[in-house]
């Protein structure tokens, strides 16, 4: 909350210092880190086509801002001021965007009104709508009015398009999710990580990457970790780096040893110790996407509790079978991949143990499941091209 409040105190000063009246600016608003990942392919494509254009990125939450405040794609990264009419007017005057891009489902009424009044082209990308949302309720007139101010909606699926049409909105394209474009390029990059090379340097190693985990995720994994054979290696990359929670996790290990990335980085453990240990806890940020390239199996966190499922597409692009928790109804990509049998949902330790045993012991099953995941990503790319073609046709930039 302190970051949330204090971060917004500097927004207008940052904008005044960086943006000049002659600049051509594109404004992207992202709620958090996940929405940034969806917006990034569009940012990169626009920057490539229009290199002199400045990219302004705003975040609502500290979790997104803190991780991406220094991203090289942006000329300015700041918090979005709270949605009052006076702040919205001041912000839009300072940014003076040629184009405003909102990601997924961020809709702020005063910002939308100000953009509309100034006739600034405004689009929604990777939009995802559900009938439970306020826009589709009898009492949702006010928010429907804000939603109606977009010039074009690029949505992830047909269901979202039909929901928008049910409230008399048009100019809708089913483009898909831009995250597929984002992760599909990752496989072409250099994903080598020195400490992972050393960690997995044993014969017949099976590597299970547990990414963006929360304590409730770790709770269903711990029994399997304690009982696994010596050639099965685990990486846990917690969503939040909390030293006390990491200490608690390590105390629950009864039959395996663990090291942390920080211990490795500081040189307090040897390379041989890293090679011999069964569990590596990555207590830093920035490595997870590359680490997934080492996975034979991936457990993606967030769905065992109520915090929200994290990005399953990052491991899927490497052709890795995926396990998640039980709460994923708001994540259509997980529902689709599960229906294709590339992803498995578990509700408790017993179910987690069963599917992990199957994936570890049956290499053919593991390979087949991973191939489903890789094909799923490859067959759903293209959203970025659809959006860029629209912007080119509109001659906005």
| Confidence class for position 264, pLDDT limits 50, 70, 90 | very high
Asked if 178 and 39 touch (Cβ cutoff 8 Å), the reply is yes
Residue with tokens 């940012």: 43
pLDDT in tens, 309-325: 999 999 999 999 999 99
Q: Which CATH class for the 1-176+382-394 domain?
A: alpha beta
Mean pLDDT, residues 271-275 taken together:
85
pLDDT at 111: 97
Helix axis angle, 332-339 to 363-378, nearest 10°:
130
Mean pLDDT, residues 371-396 taken together:
96
pTM exceeds 0.85 for this model: yes
Mean pLDDT, residues 149-178 taken together:
97
Residue 255 has pLDDT above 80, yes or no: no
Domain ranges of the chain: 1-176+382-394, 191-376
Q: Which residues are catalytic?
A: 35
pLDDT in tens, 24-60: 999 999 999 889 999 999 999 999 999 999 999 999 9
Instruction: In whole angstroms, give the CA distance from residue 307 to residue 240.
Output: 12
Same fold? 1-176+382-394, 191-376 = yes
Residue 4 has pLDDT above 60, yes or no: no
Asked if 57 and 18 touch (Cβ cutoff 8 Å), the reply is no
The CATH number of 191-376, from 3.30.420.40, 3.40.50.2300, 3.40.50.2000, 3.30.1240.10, is 3.40.50.2000
- Percent of the chain past pLDDT 90, that is, above it, reads 86
For strands 54-59 and 76-79, give the pairing: parallel
| Confidence class for position 1, pLDDT limits 50, 70, 90 | low
| Confidence class for position 65, pLDDT limits 50, 70, 90 | confident
């Amino acid at each position: 909350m302190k970051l949330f409040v204090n971060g917004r105190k500097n927004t207008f000063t940052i904008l005044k210092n960086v943006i000049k009246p002659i600049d051509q600016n594109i404004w992207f608003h992202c709620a958090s880190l996940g929405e940034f990942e969806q917006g990034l392919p569009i940012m990169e494509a626009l920057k490539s086509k229009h290199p002199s254009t400045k990219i302004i990125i705003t975040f609502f939450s500290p979790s997104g801002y803190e991780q991406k405040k220094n991203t090289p794609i942006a000329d300015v990264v700041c918090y979005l001021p709270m949605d009052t009419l006076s702040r919205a007017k001041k912000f839009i005057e300072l940014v003076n965007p040629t184009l405003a891009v909102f990601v997924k489902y961020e809709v702020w009424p005063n910002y939308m009104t100000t953009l509309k009044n100034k006739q600034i082209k405004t689009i929604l990308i990777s939009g995802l709508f559900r009938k439970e949302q306020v826009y589709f309720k009898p009492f949702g007139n006010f928010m429907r009015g804000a939603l109606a101010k977009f010039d074009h909606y690029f949505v992830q699926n047909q269901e979202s398009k039909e929901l928008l049409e049910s409230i008399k909105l048009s100019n809708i394209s089913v483009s898909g999710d831009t995250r597929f474009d984002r992760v599909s390029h990752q496989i072409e990059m250099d994903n080598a990580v020195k400490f992972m090379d050393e960690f997995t340097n044993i014969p017949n190693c099976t590597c299970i990457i547990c990414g963006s985990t929360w304590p409730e995720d770790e709770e269903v994994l711990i029994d399997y970790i304690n009982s696994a054979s010596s050639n099965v290696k685990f990486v846990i990359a917690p969503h939040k780096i909390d030293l006390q929670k990491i200490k608690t996790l390590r105390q629950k290990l009864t039959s395996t040893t663990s090291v942390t990335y920080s211990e490795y980085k500081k040189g307090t453990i040897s390379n041989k110790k890293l090679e011999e240990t069964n569990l590596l806890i990555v207590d830093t940020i920035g490595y997870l996407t590359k680490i997934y390239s080492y996975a034979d199996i991936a457990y993606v966190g967030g769905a065992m509790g109520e915090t929200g499922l994290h990005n399953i597409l990052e491991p899927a692009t490497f052709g890795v079978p995926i396990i998640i928790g039980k709460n994923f109804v708001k994540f259509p990509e997980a529902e689709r991949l599960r229906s294709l049998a590339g992803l498995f949902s578990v509700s408790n330790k017993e179910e987690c143990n069963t599917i992990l045993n199957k994936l570890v012991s049956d290499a053919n099953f593991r390979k087949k499941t991973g191939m489903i995941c890789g094909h799923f990503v490859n067959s759903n790319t293209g959203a970025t091209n659809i959006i860029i073609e629209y912007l080119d046709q509109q001659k906005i930039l």
